[in-house]
Amino acid sequence: MESSDPQAALYTAAQVRALDRAAMESGIAGFELMQRAAAAAFACLRRRWPQARSVCVLCGPGNNGGDGFLLAAIAREAGWRAEVIATSEASSGDAALARARCIQAGIHPASGGPLPQADAYVDALFGSGLNRAPDGEGARLIDALNAKRAAVLALDVPSGLSSDSGVAYEPCVRAEATICFVAWKRGLFTAQGPDHAGVCELSTLDLPGSLHAAHPADARLIEPRPLPARPRDSHKGRFGHVLAIGGDHGAGGSIRLTAESALRVGAGLVSVATREAHVAALLAARPELMPHGVHVPRNLGGLLERATVIALGPGLGRGEWGRGLWQAALDANLPTVLDADGLNLLAEHPRALPTHTILTPHPGEAARLLQCDIAQVQWDRFAAVRAIARRCGAVVVLKGAGSLIATPEGEVSLCPRGSPGLASGGTGDALTGVIAGLLAQGLSARDAACLGVGIHGRAGELAARAGERGTLASDLFPYLRALVNGRIDG
């Protein structure tokens, strides 16, 4: 499900600096890399805004500013009107050479004052080197740039965005597009990164593939792919039996969404253990499900014997009924997808989990599992998902913009798919069912989590084409079916 292509690899800022050093040690001069970056950025500018003929470049004191100085010179040589606003009167190292080239092209960097009018603006202020809130002239220029509501291209990383975590400091550039250099910075794809980076593209600056191969990535991007075609002699017994457990009084819809999602991605059979009051409604809404009224934990016995996978938690509650079913289900030691109140109960009553368990917390649930606050989770989502996976000995999906999937060994994958339309009740319950349905069909816990998150995110994008507001969890059903069968191109 993942590629070895550098286009799928996510790096920390420190790892990219190591790549830069390796490139220079291999004989590629730093100024040559800067020239390649500027040329790639100008090509991106022309593709994104083909009508543009003027550009204003905001240049900071470091190498990101050097990229900007050279871009402005290239634009002037191409016949554009190019202006530069610099935060400092001088630069050092390769950036000083770039500044001199800019001046040779007839562009004299200005400072202070309002931003001039231009068809496009380029953010070359700080890039990936900043790990604090911008201040001084840099902060003023970011505020002025955001106030323009104009075409903005960020170089490497929008200034003010943490390239490692995706946390947006205040202020932070809101770019329409970002061109990232050498390797993807992981913060572009999670937390607030997608909102500030816009459409992203990567230029490896023609570095040899051997350099990337010699520097393993911190995480990798995933993309949903369909399951292989089924043989003609298939039968329902081949594709697993999911037991969805949950739906306390007033929450029957949660477990219905979970159960139907498991069916929609191809589980052979799906039973539901829920309150007796929900059985008739479940049968009327979806007769393919097999709902059972369960009053006490011992009523689960026969259902657990027939199940191959458990989806546990949606609508479960944390009362006596929910706690009893939770304990009995985990004691069965079956592959399990644990969500919602199943996670809250785990935070309250830590215990060993079945061997093939997948946890699917949102940031609030993750904070409870880690006994911290939500801000700490969001400050470093990569660290948080790894910590939960290691502590619980399970595959963990940390939901949110740029959902992360981690193994207990620390391997992390990131899903760039999804839509704000998924920010509605029930979509997380549907994800639980998707992953459980894939797990039931024989995928490993990690592969079921990665493919499930990818399909769910893509289905959310498709369901939101009519508008993100008002998207319902049940709107995902036809797209889940189509995607798992390869009927919709990614």
Q: To the nearest whole number, what is the mean pLDDT of the chain?
A: 95
The rounded distance, in Å, linking the Cα atoms of 395 and 359 is 6
- Model pTM greater than 0.85? yes
Residue for token digits 């785990």? 346
The predicted pLDDT at position 478 comes to 95
Cα angle 243, 326, 380; round to 5: 100
The rounded distance, in Å, linking the Cα atoms of 81 and 382 is 42
Q: What is the average pLDDT across 199-210?
A: 95
371 pLDDT above the threshold of 60: yes
392 pLDDT above the threshold of 70: yes
Q: What is the dihedral of CA 190, 195, 199, 204, to 10 degrees?
A: -40
490 pLDDT above the threshold of 70: no
Share of the chain above pLDDT 70, in %: 99
pLDDT digits 0-9 by tens, 283-326: 999 999 999 999 999 999 999 999 999 999 999 999 999 999 99
pLDDT digits 0-9 by tens, 460-485: 999 999 999 999 999 999 999 999 99
328 pLDDT above the threshold of 50: yes
The predicted pLDDT at position 489 comes to 62
The predicted pLDDT at position 2 comes to 42
76 pLDDT above the threshold of 50: yes
The predicted pLDDT at position 149 comes to 83
pLDDT digits 0-9 by tens, 100-130: 999 999 999 999 889 999 999 999 999 887 8
433 pLDDT above the threshold of 70: yes
Q: What is the average pLDDT across 265-278?
A: 97
Domains of the chain with CATH codes: 6-219 (3.40.50.10260), 236-484 (3.40.1190.20)
The predicted pLDDT at position 488 comes to 75
66 pLDDT above the threshold of 80: yes
Confidence of residue 487 (pLDDT cuts 50, 70, 90): confident
Share of the chain above pLDDT 90, in %: 93
The rounded distance, in Å, linking the Cα atoms of 188 and 164 is 8
